[in-house]
Amino acid sequence: MILLLDSSTPVCKILWSDGGGKLTETEWRADRELADNLIGYLRQQLSERGISWDGISGIGIYRGPGSFTGLRIGHTVMNTIADDKGIPIVGTTGERWVSDAIERLSSGDNDNLVMPFYGREANITKPRK
């Protein structure tokens, strides 16, 4: 099973591909709860599909552009899972990001670490003091 994630907007999209063309998508309005709930939501999704982390053969992630915080959190979680479980991970962008990620994983690609693409410089506020 291939796990695909788009955390670039307040509505987090998680897609599952069986590698044979069947694709299912779930989404939830994560808003400011992404960091607190992403792992739990993924565990719930795995449980509903009757698979464990060991049943994931690849991870694809939408690199951006999008929300600085959403992309940063999604990439941190997916990179950590991929590293911990030894799962190949690829990052893609654009309208065809899902099919591009599946294609890259199917051909054996592995980015090892996927960095987000924000589309502009991060707007980091300066301390007031």
Q: Is the pLDDT of residue 120 over 90?
A: no
Average of per-residue pLDDT across 88-115: 96
Q: Which of 12, 37, 38, 36 is nearest to 25 (CA)?
A: 12
> Under CATH, which number does the domain 2-106 receive?
3.30.420.40
Q: State the Rg of the chain over Cα.
A: 15
Q: Distance from first CA to last CA of the chain, Å, rounded?
A: 50
Q: Model confidence at 110, in pLDDT bands (50, 70, 90)?
A: very high
The residue behind tokens 């099919």 is 99
Q: How far apart are CA 80 and CA 103, in angstroms?
A: 22
Query: What confidence score (pLDDT) does residue 10 get?
Result: 93
Q: What is the mean pLDDT of the chain?
A: 91
34-49 vs 68-85: helix axis angle to the nearest 10?
50
Read off the pLDDT of residues 27-42 as tens digits, 9 standing for 90 and up.
989 888 888 989 999 9
Q: Model confidence at 123, in pLDDT bands (50, 70, 90)?
A: low
The amino acid sitting at 35 is: A
Query: What confidence score (pLDDT) does residue 122 get?
Result: 64
